[in-house]
Structure 1
Amino acid sequence: MGTVAWVVTTWLKVKNGYPLENSWGKPLYPNGGGEAMERIRLISQENAQLRAEMGSMKDRMAVLERIATDKPTQLAAEIEGLRTKQLN
């Protein structure tokens, strides 16, 4: 009975991506081959792109919040200052 339970537990770990353990208790990850490594690389690249996009969106949101909360006269003065700076 114990052997059957061990086999089922090992099968469930492999099926769900959990690491197996050796006799010393250290994790052993199943070899997924080149396909798994390629998927990990692509997901990592996508993650980096999404983080960069999220950073730019946070910057835009901060600008929009500042525009919405600043006093209109102060905002108009800053815009005019940028216009005159651009013309010079």
Structure 2
Amino acid sequence: MNWGGPGFVLSIIAIVMIASIVKTAIRAKHGYPLDDEACEGKGKRRRRQDEIDATRQARLMADQNEQLQAKVLRLEERIAVLERIATDPATRTAREIDALR
């Protein structure tokens, strides 16, 4: 058997290339960074996408924060009304209810 022949060398090169392609496909499928020199452009695109996602997430969080602040203000106003009702004398509350009718 001739282990040093050109067919053996070419088969080793083919096996290494196929293994590299499979490795890259698996890394891409599971979201791992592609740090091979041949895939440098894809890594930059992925970083840009991550920046866009972070910006979008920050905007969504800011919107949610505004909504929650508005909700807290409404709840504080409702609590103030309930406290006023609870601490006011019964006759005054009855007069105000009759005035609304």
TM-score, normalised via structure 1 length: 0.58
Q: CA RMSD in A?
A: 1.3
Q: How does 1:24-43 map to 2 (within 5 A)?
A: 33-43=51-61
Unaligned stretches of 5+ in structure 1?
1-30, 84-88
**Bigger relative contact order, structure 1 or 2, given CA contacts below 8 A and separation 6+?**
1
- Rounded Cα–Cα distance in structure 2 between residues aligned with 1:63 and 1:76: 15
More strand as a share of residues: 1
More helix as a share of residues: 2
**SS of residue matched to 1:80:** helix
| Shift of residue 45, structure 1, vs aligned partner | 0.4
Cross-structure match for 1:57: 75
Per-residue deviation, residues 11-46 of structure 1 (Å, max 9, x unmatched): xxxxxxxxxxxxxxxxxxxx8510110010000000
Aligned equivalent of 2:100, options 71, 79, 82:
82
Identical residues among aligned pairs (%): 43
- Rounded Cα–Cα distance in structure 1 between residues aligned with 2:86 and 2:68: 26
Unaligned stretches of 5+ in structure 2?
1-47
Cross-structure match for 1:22: none
Higher Cα radius of gyration: 2
| Shift of residue 61, structure 1, vs aligned partner | 0.2
Deviation beyond 4 Å, 4+ runs, structure 1: none
TM-score, normalised via structure 2 length: 0.50
